[in-house]
Amino acid sequence: MNALSRLSLLLFFAFFLANCSGHSQAAAPISSTGQIKPSGLGIAITPKNFPRHTMADIDEAFRMARELGDYAVFIYQWGNLNLETAKFMMEKSRQVGLIPIVGLSPTTLDKERKELDLPNRVQRKAGSNISFKNSVIRKAFKESAKDLARLEPPYLCLATEINFLALQRLTEYLHFASLYKEVYREVKRISPRTKVFVSFQWEWVRILDAKEAERIKEHTKVIEIFRPELDVIGLTTYPSPFHNSPADLPRDYYAWMYHHIKRTDEALFMEVGWPTTGTGNEQEQADFIRRLPGLLKEINFKVVAWALLHDVSLAEFDANLNTVGLVISNGQRKPGYDTFMSLKEFLTRKP
């Protein structure tokens, strides 16, 4: 499930794209018992025909993203970080009126985020001591984060779904937490207005709580260790592998987070997704989106960002990963597209 973040990464190599035309399908109106509180919607901008796209595709994808919301999410694996690409995507976002949310992930995608994802030059210099305790790795990560900070992103996530590391290698998690605090201060010196944070995979927070209900306070330490250098609480959520349908999600599915964070904390849903094949279908995707106002109405959050704009067609991904988009790769919109766009009616803008 955490591999969904990889789809966002792949987009960042896209300096080419094509016109996305498609026929909108009717979506049932959203009903909600209450009004949700965020100030914006967002999405990770994957283009039509990805990965065989053109520059025209990316232009159209940015236009569609602006139609859907206010935020654009870009997640980069540290091992493949290209600053020119990051700069291009940020400039493109600002040109069309989107607010960029930038993520830097220092843990691997193909090894369940339990290994470090190092640039080749850092790997060679670090030698066999691959750890966040290694001064070579710490210095290099600081420099990469500072490079991104110089672009002055409004939001900068310095680790994605980092709780996977805590579940599998607690000592490394502690080393990273200390590194994060050092990097936070460096970033703030360069770009004081940037909100700096890490993200946590929400389904695994809930799974661990259900498995070890007597240790919930201890589980909270996975988040608390980053305080006070945590400007927002970043979350990713992909419920479909664990729930038969959106109707099965309990009312407190996201409100449960207040067992772990303060009600004054600002939450940022960096990746939200439900696939349309595999463990989901188009109706379920639209139904999940339709449930979001009720599920989120008690949450203090700034952004709800959908995981992908267009589906992708990549051999290394399964059906779930390839079809979490709101638009089929050929440009045809799914019912979820209009359903997601209609969430704007339930947003209350904060000053």
Quick one: pLDDT at residue 347?
A: 66
Quick one: pLDDT at residue 146?
A: 98
142: tokens are 């600081």
Residue pointed to by tokens 């479909």: 240
Quick one: pLDDT at residue 114?
A: 80
Domains belonging to the chain, first-starting first, are 4-346 (3.20.20.80)
Q: What is the 3-state secondary structure (H, E, C) of 41-73?
A: EEEECCCCCCCCCCHHHHHHHHHHHHHHCCEEE
- Measuring CA to CA, which residue among 61, 59, 63, 89 is closest to residue 74? 89
Quick one: pLDDT at residue 318?
A: 77
Quick one: pLDDT at residue 19?
A: 28
Q: pLDDT 10s per residue in the chain (351 long)?
A: 444 344 333 433 333 232 233 333 333 333 333 444 435 899 999 999 988 899 999 999 999 999 999 999 999 999 999 999 999 999 999 999 999 999 999 998 766 788 899 999 999 999 999 999 999 999 999 999 999 999 999 999 999 999 999 999 999 999 999 999 999 999 999 999 999 999 999 999 999 999 999 999 999 999 999 999 999 999 999 999 999 999 999 999 999 999 999 999 999 999 999 999 999 999 999 999 999 999 998 999 989 999 999 998 877 677 888 899 999 999 999 999 999 999 987 764 433
Q: Spell out the alpha helix ranges (H) of 81-169.
A: 83-95, 120-126, 135-149, 163-168
272 pairs with which residues across the strands? Answer: 237, 306
